[in-house]
Structure 1
Amino acid sequence: MSETRTLTPAAERVLEVAGKLFYANGIHAVGVDSIAAAAGVTKKTLYDRFGAKETLVAEYLRRRDERWRAHVLAVVAHGARTAPVRRPLLVFDALEQWMATENSRGCGFVNAHAELPDGEHPGREAIKAQKEWMLGYLRELAEAAGLRSAGKLAESLFILLEGATVAASLNVVPWAVASAKRIAKQLLESAT
Protein backbone atom coordinates (compact mmCIF):
# COMPACT_ATOMS: atom_id res chain seq x y z
CA MET A 1 0.00 0.00 0.00
CA SER A 2 1.33 3.43 -0.82
CA GLU A 3 2.04 5.96 1.86
CA THR A 4 -0.82 8.27 2.77
CA ARG A 5 -0.14 11.73 1.50
CA THR A 6 -1.11 14.90 3.32
CA LEU A 7 -4.04 16.61 1.66
CA THR A 8 -5.43 20.10 2.01
CA PRO A 9 -8.79 20.45 3.80
CA ALA A 10 -10.48 20.96 0.41
CA ALA A 11 -8.85 17.81 -0.97
CA GLU A 12 -9.90 15.86 2.13
CA ARG A 13 -13.49 17.02 1.58
CA VAL A 14 -13.30 15.98 -2.07
CA LEU A 15 -11.93 12.56 -1.10
CA GLU A 16 -14.55 12.00 1.59
CA VAL A 17 -17.43 13.01 -0.69
CA ALA A 18 -16.05 11.07 -3.65
CA GLY A 19 -15.67 7.94 -1.53
CA LYS A 20 -19.27 8.09 -0.37
CA LEU A 21 -20.56 8.76 -3.89
CA PHE A 22 -18.38 6.10 -5.54
CA TYR A 23 -19.45 3.46 -3.05
CA ALA A 24 -23.15 4.38 -3.07
CA ASN A 25 -23.60 4.91 -6.80
CA GLY A 26 -20.66 3.31 -8.60
CA ILE A 27 -17.50 4.86 -9.93
CA HIS A 28 -18.68 5.38 -13.51
CA ALA A 29 -22.03 6.82 -12.42
CA VAL A 30 -20.35 9.66 -10.51
CA GLY A 31 -18.79 12.51 -12.43
CA VAL A 32 -16.30 15.09 -11.26
CA ASP A 33 -19.00 17.78 -11.54
CA SER A 34 -21.10 15.97 -8.93
CA ILE A 35 -18.13 15.40 -6.65
CA ALA A 36 -16.98 19.01 -6.84
CA ALA A 37 -20.48 20.35 -6.21
CA ALA A 38 -21.10 18.04 -3.25
CA ALA A 39 -17.70 18.89 -1.76
CA GLY A 40 -18.25 22.62 -2.24
CA VAL A 41 -15.20 23.09 -4.45
CA THR A 42 -14.62 23.92 -8.09
CA LYS A 43 -13.66 21.31 -10.66
CA LYS A 44 -10.38 23.18 -10.99
CA THR A 45 -9.68 22.57 -7.29
CA LEU A 46 -10.48 18.88 -7.70
CA TYR A 47 -8.13 18.57 -10.68
CA ASP A 48 -5.44 20.66 -8.97
CA ARG A 49 -5.48 18.30 -5.98
CA PHE A 50 -5.86 14.95 -7.76
CA GLY A 51 -4.96 15.51 -11.40
CA ALA A 52 -7.57 13.10 -12.78
CA LYS A 53 -10.59 11.13 -11.71
CA GLU A 54 -8.49 7.94 -11.94
CA THR A 55 -6.14 9.28 -9.27
CA LEU A 56 -9.09 10.20 -7.06
CA VAL A 57 -10.53 6.70 -7.47
CA ALA A 58 -7.21 5.12 -6.50
CA GLU A 59 -6.90 7.39 -3.46
CA TYR A 60 -10.48 6.54 -2.39
CA LEU A 61 -9.64 2.83 -2.58
CA ARG A 62 -6.38 3.26 -0.64
CA ARG A 63 -8.19 5.17 2.10
CA ARG A 64 -10.92 2.55 2.30
CA ASP A 65 -8.21 -0.10 2.57
CA GLU A 66 -6.50 1.81 5.38
CA ARG A 67 -9.78 1.98 7.29
CA TRP A 68 -10.46 -1.74 6.74
CA ARG A 69 -6.98 -2.77 7.86
CA ALA A 70 -7.18 -0.59 10.97
CA HIS A 71 -10.58 -2.09 11.79
CA VAL A 72 -9.40 -5.69 11.39
CA LEU A 73 -6.25 -5.09 13.42
CA ALA A 74 -8.24 -3.39 16.19
CA VAL A 75 -10.74 -6.25 16.42
CA VAL A 76 -7.96 -8.84 16.53
CA ALA A 77 -6.00 -6.79 19.09
CA HIS A 78 -9.14 -6.46 21.22
CA GLY A 79 -9.32 -10.24 21.24
CA ALA A 80 -5.68 -10.61 22.30
CA ARG A 81 -6.69 -13.01 25.06
CA THR A 82 -8.21 -15.33 22.47
CA ALA A 83 -6.19 -18.51 21.97
CA PRO A 84 -3.91 -18.13 18.92
CA VAL A 85 -5.63 -21.02 17.16
CA ARG A 86 -8.93 -19.09 17.30
CA ARG A 87 -7.58 -15.64 16.33
CA PRO A 88 -8.30 -16.08 12.61
CA LEU A 89 -11.98 -16.29 13.60
CA LEU A 90 -11.76 -12.71 14.88
CA VAL A 91 -11.37 -11.58 11.28
CA PHE A 92 -14.88 -12.90 10.65
CA ASP A 93 -16.09 -10.85 13.62
CA ALA A 94 -14.39 -7.81 12.07
CA LEU A 95 -16.13 -8.50 8.76
CA GLU A 96 -19.52 -8.84 10.43
CA GLN A 97 -19.07 -5.48 12.20
CA TRP A 98 -17.82 -3.84 8.99
CA MET A 99 -20.74 -5.20 6.98
CA ALA A 100 -23.16 -3.68 9.50
CA THR A 101 -21.69 -0.18 9.19
CA GLU A 102 -19.60 0.13 6.01
CA ASN A 103 -20.61 -2.46 3.45
CA SER A 104 -24.29 -2.13 2.62
CA ARG A 105 -23.48 -2.61 -1.09
CA GLY A 106 -20.91 -5.35 -0.64
CA CYS A 107 -17.16 -5.13 -0.91
CA GLY A 108 -16.08 -1.73 -2.22
CA PHE A 109 -13.00 -3.34 -3.77
CA VAL A 110 -14.91 -6.04 -5.63
CA ASN A 111 -17.41 -3.43 -6.80
CA ALA A 112 -14.58 -1.19 -8.03
CA HIS A 113 -12.82 -4.11 -9.71
CA ALA A 114 -15.96 -4.82 -11.73
CA GLU A 115 -15.99 -1.19 -12.90
CA LEU A 116 -12.28 -0.92 -13.70
CA PRO A 117 -11.55 -3.47 -16.44
CA ASP A 118 -8.35 -1.67 -17.50
CA GLY A 119 -5.52 -3.48 -15.74
CA GLU A 120 -3.47 -0.27 -15.88
CA HIS A 121 -5.99 1.82 -13.93
CA PRO A 122 -4.30 3.02 -10.72
CA GLY A 123 -7.27 1.80 -8.70
CA ARG A 124 -6.52 -1.80 -9.69
CA GLU A 125 -3.22 -1.65 -7.76
CA ALA A 126 -5.08 -0.54 -4.62
CA ILE A 127 -7.62 -3.35 -5.02
CA LYS A 128 -4.92 -5.98 -5.46
CA ALA A 129 -2.97 -4.64 -2.48
CA GLN A 130 -6.05 -4.88 -0.26
CA LYS A 131 -6.79 -8.48 -1.19
CA GLU A 132 -3.13 -9.53 -0.92
CA TRP A 133 -2.89 -7.93 2.53
CA MET A 134 -5.96 -9.81 3.76
CA LEU A 135 -4.61 -13.14 2.50
CA GLY A 136 -1.19 -12.40 4.00
CA TYR A 137 -2.66 -11.40 7.34
CA LEU A 138 -4.68 -14.61 7.53
CA ARG A 139 -1.51 -16.56 6.75
CA GLU A 140 0.32 -14.64 9.48
CA LEU A 141 -2.39 -15.51 12.02
CA ALA A 142 -2.36 -19.17 11.00
CA GLU A 143 1.44 -19.36 11.21
CA ALA A 144 1.46 -17.64 14.62
CA ALA A 145 -0.99 -20.28 15.84
CA GLY A 146 1.27 -23.07 14.57
CA LEU A 147 -1.46 -24.45 12.32
CA ARG A 148 -0.61 -27.05 9.66
CA SER A 149 -0.48 -25.90 6.04
CA ALA A 150 -0.89 -22.27 7.09
CA GLY A 151 -0.73 -20.99 3.51
CA LYS A 152 -3.44 -23.32 2.22
CA LEU A 153 -5.54 -22.70 5.33
CA ALA A 154 -5.23 -18.93 4.80
CA GLU A 155 -6.41 -19.33 1.20
CA SER A 156 -9.48 -21.23 2.38
CA LEU A 157 -10.26 -18.65 5.06
CA PHE A 158 -9.82 -15.86 2.52
CA ILE A 159 -12.24 -17.52 0.11
CA LEU A 160 -14.74 -17.96 2.95
CA LEU A 161 -14.45 -14.26 3.83
CA GLU A 162 -14.90 -13.13 0.24
CA GLY A 163 -17.84 -15.47 -0.35
CA ALA A 164 -19.50 -14.41 2.88
CA THR A 165 -19.15 -10.76 1.90
CA VAL A 166 -20.91 -11.34 -1.42
CA ALA A 167 -23.60 -13.62 -0.01
CA ALA A 168 -24.32 -11.20 2.86
CA SER A 169 -24.51 -8.14 0.62
CA LEU A 170 -26.97 -9.89 -1.69
CA ASN A 171 -29.02 -11.31 1.20
CA VAL A 172 -28.73 -14.71 -0.45
CA VAL A 173 -27.68 -16.61 2.67
CA PRO A 174 -29.06 -15.40 5.99
CA TRP A 175 -26.23 -14.99 8.47
CA ALA A 176 -23.61 -15.59 5.75
CA VAL A 177 -20.68 -14.34 7.82
CA ALA A 178 -21.69 -16.44 10.85
CA SER A 179 -22.03 -19.48 8.57
CA ALA A 180 -18.60 -18.84 7.05
CA LYS A 181 -17.16 -18.46 10.55
CA ARG A 182 -18.57 -21.86 11.55
CA ILE A 183 -16.89 -23.47 8.54
CA ALA A 184 -13.68 -21.59 9.33
CA LYS A 185 -13.77 -22.93 12.88
CA GLN A 186 -13.98 -26.49 11.52
CA LEU A 187 -11.01 -25.83 9.25
CA LEU A 188 -8.98 -24.43 12.14
CA GLU A 189 -9.82 -27.43 14.31
CA SER A 190 -8.71 -29.84 11.60
CA ALA A 191 -5.43 -27.93 11.17
CA THR A 192 -4.37 -28.17 14.83
Structure 2
Amino acid sequence: MSDDQMPPARRRILDAADRLFYLNGINSTGVDAVIEQAQVARMTFYKHFGGKEALILAYLSGRETRWQTLLERSIGRAGEDPRARLLAVFDALRSWATSETRFRGCSFVNAMAELADPDHSARAVITSYKGALRDRVLELAREAGAADPELLTDQLLLVYEGAISNHSLGNVDDAVHKAHFTAEQLIAAAVPV
Protein backbone atom coordinates (compact mmCIF):
# COMPACT_ATOMS: atom_id res chain seq x y z
CA MET A 1 0.00 0.00 0.00
CA SER A 2 1.52 3.31 -1.05
CA ASP A 3 1.57 6.28 1.31
CA ASP A 4 -1.09 8.13 -0.69
CA GLN A 5 -3.45 5.11 -0.44
CA MET A 6 -2.85 4.57 3.27
CA PRO A 7 -5.68 5.47 5.65
CA PRO A 8 -4.76 8.58 7.70
CA ALA A 9 -5.04 6.73 11.03
CA ARG A 10 -2.63 4.01 9.86
CA ARG A 11 -0.20 6.70 8.65
CA ARG A 12 -0.35 8.47 12.03
CA ILE A 13 0.28 5.19 13.86
CA LEU A 14 3.28 4.39 11.65
CA ASP A 15 4.68 7.91 12.00
CA ALA A 16 4.34 7.74 15.78
CA ALA A 17 5.92 4.29 15.93
CA ASP A 18 8.77 5.42 13.68
CA ARG A 19 9.59 8.35 15.96
CA LEU A 20 9.17 6.47 19.23
CA PHE A 21 10.83 3.19 18.22
CA TYR A 22 13.81 4.98 16.72
CA LEU A 23 14.31 7.54 19.50
CA ASN A 24 13.36 5.47 22.55
CA GLY A 25 13.79 1.88 21.40
CA ILE A 26 11.33 -0.82 20.46
CA ASN A 27 11.24 -2.54 23.84
CA SER A 28 10.94 0.76 25.73
CA THR A 29 7.98 1.89 23.65
CA GLY A 30 4.63 0.41 24.53
CA VAL A 31 1.57 0.28 22.36
CA ASP A 32 -0.12 2.83 24.64
CA ALA A 33 2.59 5.42 23.87
CA VAL A 34 2.14 4.86 20.13
CA ILE A 35 -1.65 5.13 20.42
CA GLU A 36 -1.34 8.34 22.45
CA GLN A 37 1.16 9.97 20.09
CA ALA A 38 -0.85 8.93 17.02
CA GLN A 39 -4.05 10.19 18.63
CA VAL A 40 -6.06 7.14 17.67
CA ALA A 41 -8.39 4.86 19.57
CA ARG A 42 -7.07 1.54 20.85
CA MET A 43 -9.48 -0.30 18.55
CA THR A 44 -8.16 1.66 15.57
CA PHE A 45 -4.64 0.56 16.39
CA TYR A 46 -5.63 -3.11 16.66
CA LYS A 47 -7.73 -2.87 13.49
CA HIS A 48 -4.68 -1.76 11.51
CA PHE A 49 -1.94 -3.81 13.19
CA GLY A 50 -3.39 -6.45 15.47
CA GLY A 51 -0.50 -6.01 17.89
CA LYS A 52 3.00 -4.68 18.47
CA GLU A 53 4.78 -7.35 16.42
CA ALA A 54 2.98 -6.33 13.22
CA LEU A 55 3.73 -2.70 14.00
CA ILE A 56 7.44 -3.49 14.44
CA LEU A 57 7.49 -5.21 11.04
CA ALA A 58 5.72 -2.24 9.42
CA TYR A 59 8.16 0.16 11.09
CA LEU A 60 11.19 -1.74 9.78
CA SER A 61 9.64 -2.10 6.33
CA GLY A 62 9.02 1.65 6.18
CA ARG A 63 12.59 2.39 7.21
CA GLU A 64 13.90 -0.02 4.57
CA THR A 65 11.73 1.53 1.85
CA ARG A 66 12.90 5.05 2.72
CA TRP A 67 16.56 3.96 2.76
CA GLN A 68 16.25 2.14 -0.57
CA THR A 69 14.65 5.23 -2.13
CA LEU A 70 17.42 7.48 -0.81
CA LEU A 71 20.11 5.02 -1.93
CA GLU A 72 18.77 4.63 -5.45
CA ARG A 73 18.30 8.39 -5.76
CA SER A 74 21.94 8.90 -4.74
CA ILE A 75 23.12 6.26 -7.20
CA GLY A 76 21.06 7.88 -9.95
CA ARG A 77 22.55 11.31 -9.21
CA ALA A 78 26.03 9.81 -9.58
CA GLY A 79 25.38 9.39 -13.30
CA GLU A 80 27.14 6.80 -15.42
CA ASP A 81 30.52 6.77 -13.67
CA PRO A 82 30.64 3.33 -11.99
CA ARG A 83 33.08 4.47 -9.31
CA ALA A 84 30.85 7.42 -8.42
CA ARG A 85 27.84 5.11 -8.35
CA LEU A 86 29.62 2.86 -5.83
CA LEU A 87 30.64 5.84 -3.72
CA ALA A 88 27.00 7.01 -3.81
CA VAL A 89 26.28 4.49 -1.04
CA PHE A 90 28.27 6.81 1.22
CA ASP A 91 26.59 9.89 -0.23
CA ALA A 92 23.27 8.35 0.81
CA LEU A 93 24.65 7.52 4.24
CA ARG A 94 25.81 11.11 4.74
CA SER A 95 22.42 12.43 3.65
CA TRP A 96 20.57 10.03 5.97
CA ALA A 97 22.82 10.55 9.01
CA THR A 98 22.58 14.33 8.79
CA SER A 99 18.82 14.38 8.19
CA GLU A 100 17.87 12.62 11.44
CA THR A 101 17.01 15.03 14.26
CA ARG A 102 18.65 12.79 16.84
CA PHE A 103 20.73 10.17 15.09
CA ARG A 104 20.71 6.87 17.01
CA GLY A 105 22.48 4.67 14.50
CA CYS A 106 21.02 2.02 12.26
CA SER A 107 17.43 1.20 13.16
CA PHE A 108 18.02 -2.38 11.95
CA VAL A 109 21.06 -2.97 14.13
CA ASN A 110 19.22 -1.36 17.05
CA ALA A 111 16.23 -3.64 16.46
CA MET A 112 18.48 -6.71 16.19
CA ALA A 113 20.02 -5.87 19.56
CA GLU A 114 16.63 -5.35 21.18
CA LEU A 115 14.85 -8.35 19.70
CA ALA A 116 17.09 -11.05 21.06
CA ASP A 117 14.75 -13.96 20.31
CA PRO A 118 16.28 -15.61 17.20
CA ASP A 119 12.76 -16.62 16.10
CA HIS A 120 11.32 -13.10 16.22
CA SER A 121 9.82 -12.34 12.82
CA ALA A 122 11.61 -9.00 12.66
CA ARG A 123 14.99 -10.71 12.61
CA ALA A 124 14.22 -12.15 9.17
CA VAL A 125 13.37 -8.64 7.93
CA ILE A 126 16.61 -7.27 9.38
CA THR A 127 18.72 -10.06 7.87
CA SER A 128 17.00 -9.59 4.52
CA TYR A 129 17.63 -5.84 4.56
CA LYS A 130 21.31 -6.20 5.41
CA GLY A 131 21.65 -8.92 2.77
CA ALA A 132 20.00 -6.71 0.14
CA LEU A 133 22.37 -3.87 0.99
CA ARG A 134 25.35 -6.20 0.59
CA ASP A 135 23.97 -7.47 -2.73
CA ARG A 136 23.53 -3.92 -4.02
CA VAL A 137 27.05 -2.87 -3.01
CA LEU A 138 28.47 -6.03 -4.57
CA GLU A 139 26.57 -5.33 -7.79
CA LEU A 140 27.99 -1.79 -7.87
CA ALA A 141 31.52 -3.09 -7.14
CA ARG A 142 31.23 -5.52 -10.06
CA GLU A 143 29.89 -2.78 -12.36
CA ALA A 144 32.84 -0.61 -11.35
CA GLY A 145 35.25 -3.37 -12.39
CA ALA A 146 36.79 -4.02 -8.98
CA ALA A 147 39.60 -6.57 -9.12
CA ASP A 148 38.03 -8.41 -6.16
CA PRO A 149 34.43 -7.17 -5.83
CA GLU A 150 33.68 -9.45 -2.85
CA LEU A 151 36.63 -8.07 -0.87
CA LEU A 152 35.81 -4.47 -1.78
CA THR A 153 32.19 -5.00 -0.78
CA ASP A 154 33.25 -6.39 2.60
CA GLN A 155 35.64 -3.50 3.15
CA LEU A 156 33.04 -0.89 2.21
CA LEU A 157 30.40 -2.45 4.44
CA LEU A 158 32.80 -2.51 7.38
CA VAL A 159 33.49 1.19 6.85
CA TYR A 160 29.75 1.88 6.38
CA GLU A 161 28.70 0.11 9.61
CA GLY A 162 31.61 1.61 11.53
CA ALA A 163 30.67 5.09 10.37
CA ILE A 164 27.11 4.64 11.59
CA SER A 165 28.22 3.45 15.02
CA ASN A 166 30.89 6.08 15.48
CA HIS A 167 28.65 8.87 14.23
CA SER A 168 25.87 7.94 16.66
CA LEU A 169 28.28 7.44 19.59
CA GLY A 170 30.27 10.56 18.82
CA ASN A 171 33.56 8.63 19.10
CA VAL A 172 34.94 9.99 15.83
CA ASP A 173 34.49 13.59 14.82
CA ASP A 174 32.74 13.81 11.46
CA ALA A 175 32.68 10.00 11.17
CA VAL A 176 30.41 9.90 8.13
CA HIS A 177 32.58 12.35 6.18
CA LYS A 178 35.71 10.39 7.12
CA ALA A 179 34.01 7.15 6.06
CA HIS A 180 33.19 8.75 2.70
CA PHE A 181 36.85 9.68 2.26
CA THR A 182 37.95 6.16 3.31
CA ALA A 183 35.52 4.62 0.82
CA GLU A 184 36.95 6.84 -1.93
CA GLN A 185 40.42 5.54 -1.13
CA LEU A 186 39.30 1.90 -1.06
CA ILE A 187 37.48 2.27 -4.38
CA ALA A 188 40.45 4.04 -5.98
CA ALA A 189 42.78 1.22 -4.86
CA ALA A 190 40.44 -1.58 -6.01
CA VAL A 191 39.02 -0.22 -9.26
CA PRO A 192 41.32 0.42 -12.23
CA VAL A 193 40.94 3.77 -13.93
Report whether the alignment pairs 1:86 with 2:81.
no
SS of aligned partner of 2:151:
helix
Quote the Cα distance in structure 2 between the aligned partners of 1:104 and 1:188.
27
User: Unmatched 5+ residue regions in structure 1?
Assistant: none
Identity, % of aligned positions: 39
CA contact (8 A) 1:55 1:122 kept: no
Displacement of 1:74 = 0.4
Per the alignment, residue 64 of structure 1 pairs with 63
SS of aligned partner of 1:29:
coil
Quote the Cα distance in structure 2 between the aligned partners of 1:89 and 1:178.
12
Displacement of 1:185 = 1.9
Q: What amino acid is the match of 1:44?
A: M
What RMSD over aligned residues (CA atoms) do the two structures have, in Å? 1.7
Per the alignment, residue 25 of structure 1 pairs with 24
Map 1:139-150 → 2, pairs under 5 A:
139-150=138-149
TM-score (normalised: structure 1): 0.92
Displacement of 1:4 = 6.8
Map 1:107-186 → 2, pairs under 5 A:
107-186=106-185
Quote the Cα distance in structure 1 between the aligned partners of 2:181 and 2:77.
20
Deviations 1:36-93 (A, max 9, x none): 1111112221112111101100110010010001001101101115x21232111111
TM-score (normalised: structure 2): 0.91
Report whether the alignment pairs 1:41 with 2:33.
no
Displacement of 1:9 = 2.0
Give the aligned length: 189
Displacement of 1:149 = 1.2
Q: What amino acid is the match of 2:88?
A: L
Q: What amino acid is the match of 1:89?
A: L
CA contact (8 A) 2:64 2:129 kept: yes
Quote the Cα distance in structure 1 between the aligned partners of 2:2 and 2:128.
14
Quote the Cα distance in structure 1 between the aligned partners of 2:163 and 2:129.
17
Displacement of 1:143 = 0.8
Per the alignment, residue 105 of structure 2 pairs with 106
